A and B are shown apart, each in its own frame.
Chain A
Amino acid sequence: GENVEQHPSTLSVQEGDSAVIKCTYSDSASNYFPWYKQELGKGPQLIIDIRSNVGEKKDQRIAVTLNKTAKHFSLHITETQPEDSAVYFCAASMFGDMRFGAGTRLTVKP
């Protein structure tokens, strides 16, 4: 089955700096790669996603890249703000089956 690895497990940045989180997946059949943000006591919230036929997608301060050949994808957050502090999860999905990375705890220091 699909296996998703996520790095780093923790990330601390200064407000205004950029943050990058990287994931790799094992199943070349996966065709959908979402990113979720989870705040304390809440469910994961979809913040951006990328499909297998696209290499890059951007939404304001957030961008995702996908390298299908290498089977890795990344989340880039620019101009980080304290409210970006949360746990971020990557995931890979093929049809109904979705597997999550272990998560990255991002801390943005004011």
Chain B
Amino acid sequence: GAVVSQHPSWVICKSGTSVKIECRSLDFQATTMFWYRQFPKQSLMLMATSNEGSKATYEQGVEKDKFLINHASLTLSTLTVTSAHPEDSSFYICSERVRETQYFGPGTRLLVL
């Protein structure tokens, strides 16, 4: 399967600041990557689809100005949580699609104080 990395693995920030999370594909060129968030004891919720060289596609109810996605290269997609608030605290996970299968990164735990 594909190898996906995320950085940072853990971040704590103050309310009102912005946080950038990086997702890298280490062994495939990923034209499509996905961003999910996961609350404790819940399933994964798709936030957006990140397309290399074009705008991301956001799921219904996800604010695109709040969660900025950039996919400038075939190996890197970034998610920026702007003006973070405590309710944005969550586990953010990216994945890349290789043919039909999605392979996930290790996740980033965000805690907003």
Are A and B associated in one complex?
Answer: no
